[in-house]
Chain A
Amino acid sequence: MTLVQRLHNIPAVNQSPALRAFVTAAWLGWQIESNWARPFLFAVYVIARPISSVLILVIMYSVITNGATGEPIFAFIYFGNALYILVNSVVTGVSWAVIEDREHYRVAKQIYTAPMNTYAYLLGRGVARLIIGSVSVLITLTFGVLAFRIPLDINVLLFLAATIFGLASLSALGVILGAVTMQTARLQTDLGSLVSGGLYLFTGAIFPLDVLPSWLQPVGYLFPVTYWLEVTRRALLGAHAARFPTFAAFSDWGLIGVLALMTALLWLASGWVYSAALRRSKEEGLIDIETNF
C-alpha cells in the first residue's frame, strides 16, 4: 500500500473532500517533481541552486567588506536569503501547477470537471516544492553555519510558530498567484518566480528595510513575509541576530501576532480571489487555453 493510500485511509482525510484533494495533489506533485529525474540530477538541483544563490550574496558582501563574515549583518543577509528559498519554492510551486496542468499535461478540463475541491488541490500541488525547498534551506543553513561559523541560538517554540504561520501565508500567496496565472498567458518567467524575486525589495530578505528610502519602508510592513523573515532570524540566531530600528519596537511574540493576523487575512483573500478567478476563467473560456508561443 502506497503512502498516499495510507493517508487516504485515515478517517479524517477520507471523510473530507478538501483533505482528499490536498493529499492526492501533494502526492501527484511529488511524482512530477522527483520521479521523472535521475536521483543524481535531482540531488544536484536541490543543492546547487540554493547554494549558488546564497554564494552570490556572499561574494557581493565579501568583495566590499574584504570577507568580514563575522559581522551580524552578514548573518542577517545569509539567513534571509536562505529562508527566502522557501518563498520562491512555495509560491512558485502553487502558481506553476496551473501552467503545468493547463498547458503541459492538458488536464485542466478533467481537474475542473472532477468532483473535488480545486482550491485544496492547487494548495496540495505546492507541497512537493515545499519539501524540496525545505531540504534546500536546511542544506544552505548548515553550509552557512559550517563554512562561515554563523552562531546559532535556537528558540524552538518561536521557530515552530513562525514556520507554521509563515508557510501558511506563503501558501495563500501562492494560491492568489495561481488564480492570477489562470487569467494570463504562459509568461517567459513564471509568475511565482517573478513576484518572489520582486518582493526581495520590500521584505528585508537580503538587506535591512532601514536602507530603503523612508517613504518606501512602510511597503515592507504590508507583507507577511517581512515579519516571518524577521522572527525566524530571531528564532534561529537569538542574541546574535542583527537588530534594526524598523522592527525594534516589536517583541518576538508581537511579530508572531502580526504574522498570524496577516496570515488569516491572506487566507480569506486567497479564497475570494481564487473563486473569482475560477468564475472568470469559466466565463472567458480560459480554463484550458494554450499559450505556448
Chain B
Amino acid sequence: MAALEKDIIRSQERVKKLHGFALFWAVVWARAYPRIIGALRQKSWLFFETVFPLMGVIGYIYVYRSVNAPQEYIGFVVLGGAMTAFWLNVLWSMASQLYWDKEDGNLEIYVLCPAPMMAILIGMAIGGMLMSATRAAVIIIVCSLAFGVVYNVGSIPLLIAVFLLTMTALYGMGMMFASVFLASGREAWHLANLMQEPIYLVSGFYFPVKALGALVATAASIVPLTLGMDGMRQLLFPSEQATGLMPVELEVVLLILLGVLFIGGAYFALRKLEQIGRREGRLIERRR
C-alpha cells in the first residue's frame, strides 16, 4: 500500500512554485479562466446578452427617428449602446464581484493563497471582457449595417488609443469599486443599481455629453466613459468636433491620469480593506 502511494505521488507532476511577475501573470489567467470557460460552456448567454441589448439600442435609435434627428445621432446611440456593455460589466462583474465572492466563500481563499489580489481583479476584467466585447461588437456591426451609420475615422491610432485608455481607466475604476462595494456589504446591490442609469445620463451614452452643460459634463468626466465616448465620437463623426466637450488630445491626457488614479486607488483600497477585514474578522463573515 505504502509503495503504491509512493508511486502515485511520484507519477504526479510537481507544480512549479511561481514568484513575482510569473505568479502575478499566472493568477491573472487563472482568474480569467473560469469566466472564459464558463462563457464557452453555456452558450445561451450569446443569445440573451446580445439579442436583447441590441433590441434596446435599436429602441433608442427609433426615438431619434421619431423626432427626425440627423443621421449622425444614430451613430451616437450605436457607440453609446455598445459602451453600455463595458459599463455593465464593470458594475456587475467587477465592482460587485468581490462581494459575491465573499458570500460564496471564494474571497477567503483568495486572501489565504499567495495570489496577489490585483492580479485576481485584472483576471476578472480580462475574463469579463469576452462577453462585453462580444455584445459591443454585435451592437456596432448590426446597427451600423442596418441603419447605415457612416464613420469618418480621422486617425485610427488615436481612436485605438482613446478606446484602450478608456478601458484601462474604466476597469481600474471597477477594481477600485470592488473594494468599496465589498466594504458596503449588502448595500452593494443597491449601489450598483444606483450607478447604472444615472451614469448613462451624466456620461452621455445616448447624446453628446455637452448637452448637459459644461459644468455637469466636466464633473461627469470623473467617469472614464464620459471622456472616452466624447473622444471617440469626435474621431468617428468629425462634425461632432463642434459639440465635443474638449479637444481629444486633452481627453487622452485626462484618461491617462484617470487610469493611474483608479489603478493606484484600487491597490491602496484593496490593501486597506484587507487590513480592516483581517483585524475585524470580516473577510469570512457572511451576513445573509
Contact = CB atoms under 8 A, between A and B. Distances in A.
Most buried by A among B70, B132, B190, B200: B190
B187 A41 contact: yes
Given A185-B38, A208-B66, A104 B103 contact: yes
Interface of chain B: mostly helix, strand, loop or mixed: helix
A23 to B, nearest CB: 22
Contacts of A201: 55-56, 58-59, 62
A199 B56 CA distance: 7
Interface in B53-101: 53-56, 58-60, 62-70, 73, 88-89, 92-93, 100-101
A36 B184 CA distance: 11
A44 B66 contact: no
Interface residues of B, number: 60
Contact of A211 (B54, B62, B103): B62
Nearest to A100: B189
A291 interface: yes
A197 to B, nearest CB: 4
A188 B187 contact: no
B63 A59 contact: no
Given A45-B193, A59-B207, 15 more contacts: A36-B186, A42-B190, A52-B197, A53-B197, A63-B208, A64-B64, A64-B67, A64-B73, A187-B48, A188-B49, A188-B93, A189-B53, A198-B55, A199-B55, A201-B56
B67 A65 contact: yes
Most buried by A among B44, B56, B67: B67
B128 A188 contact: yes
A37 B198 CA distance: 19
A200 B66 contact: no
Given A188-B93, A293-B34, A41 B207 contact: no
B104 interface: yes
Contact of B190 (A41, A64, A104): A41
6 contacts: A45-B193, A77-B66, A184-B48, A207-B63, A212-B62, A293-B38
Contact of A55 (B68, B201, B205): B201
B211 interface: yes
B51 interface: yes
Contact of A189 (B51, B92, B103, B127): B92
A59 B88 contact: no
B198 A49 contact: yes
A111 interface: no
A191 to B, nearest CB: 6
Contacts of B58: 201
A200 B56 contact: yes
Contacts of B64: 60, 64
Interface in B155-199: 185-187, 190-191, 193-194, 196-198
B56 A57 contact: no
Contact of B193 (A49, A57, A59, A206): A49
